[in-house]
Amino acid sequence: MNAHEEDRMKQLLKQALPPPGDTEPERDLWPAMLRRLDARPAPVPWFDWALAGGLAVFAVVFPASIPVFLYYL
Amino acid sequence: MKPHPYLRAYLAGIFVPTLVLPLILAGFIVVRLVLATPFPIERFLVFPFALVPTLFGLWNMLYLASHGRLHQSIGLHGAVLPILGAPIGAFVASCLGLLDFGAHRVIYFQYVRVPYAVLPLLVLAAMAGYYLVWKYVVGFLNRTLGIA
């Protein structure tokens, strides 16, 4: 391929592939990213604490249930 | 979308039983060898080792398959598993001679006596435990592996 053909090929490629548009985001993404990084994980709901406490009480009141739980995991 | 989502769902599902079962095994070996308690460990281990991890993995695959349509929470999805697993476990235990049905109570492992009145509480407690495990452990693993 000589220089003339090479230039012609470049020209054809430029015509076939449209130039990329504006690659900048429409708004600044950093504030949202910083808010997300600073966000604390959601606290454990009281219902889940109550369930965990109820399980502990059940195991104390019915200790015979522990090996059965372990069997079923 | 990452590849092989169902494989990752299965692996996330079997994580908890795979992690906990060796500890249970160690505990029962101590009970049997050190305390010389006549406990049928070999038969006891069949269900938790052979079936429970598979149940967890398949249940998590089912969660992945159905979540797009049902939008159910993973905790509630896990809480339903004891309803499926308890009869299977009881059937296996009965076949292996680990479960006897008395007049007023069910006898597990020829050793643990559970009155029939307590059985519904046992199932509810199991559902509560599964709810917490699935919500916080399996849910975390699903998010970490990119399938939730």
Query: Quick one: pLDDT at residue B1?
Result: 59
- pLDDT tens, residue by residue, B89-105: 888 888 888 888 888 88
Q: Is the pLDDT of residue B135 over 90?
A: yes
- pLDDT tens, residue by residue, B17-67: 899 888 888 887 887 787 777 767 777 778 888 889 999 999 999 999 988
The separation between the first and the last C-alpha atoms of chain A, rounded to the nearest angstrom, is: 72
Distance of alpha carbon B105 from alpha carbon B94, whole angstroms: 14
Give chain B's radius of gyration (CA, Å): 17
Return the minimum-mean-pLDDT range out of A34-48, B35-49, B74-88, B126-140.
B35-49
- Total number of domains constituting chain B: 1
Q: What are B123's two structure tokens? A: 């199932």
What does pTM read for this prediction? 0.77
Question: Chain B contacts of A43, Cβ < 8 Å?
Answer: none
Q: What are A20's two structure tokens? A: 């990329």
Q: Quick check: B17 and A73 CB within 8 A?
A: yes
Query: Quick one: pLDDT at residue A25?
Result: 76
Domain around B33: 5-144
Block residue for tokens 């995991």: A73
Contact A55/B at CB under 8 A? yes
Distance of alpha carbon B12 from alpha carbon B143, whole angstroms: 10
The 10 Å Cβ neighbour count of residue B135 is: 21
Query: Quick one: pLDDT at residue A22?
Result: 66
Exposure on the CB side of residue A26, measured as CA atoms within 13 A = 0
Contact B129/A at CB under 8 A? yes
Q: Is the pLDDT of residue B147 over 80?
A: yes
Question: Chain A contacts of B74, Cβ < 8 Å?
Answer: none
Please report which confidence band the pLDDT of residue B12 belongs to, taking 50, 70 and 90 as the band edges.
very high
Contact A56/B at CB under 8 A? no
CB contact at 8 A, B134 and B55: no
Question: Chain B contacts of A69, Cβ < 8 Å?
Answer: 122, 125-126, 129
- Confidence check on the interface: ipTM exceeds 0.90, yes or no: no
Low-confidence ranges of chain A (pLDDT < 70): 21-22
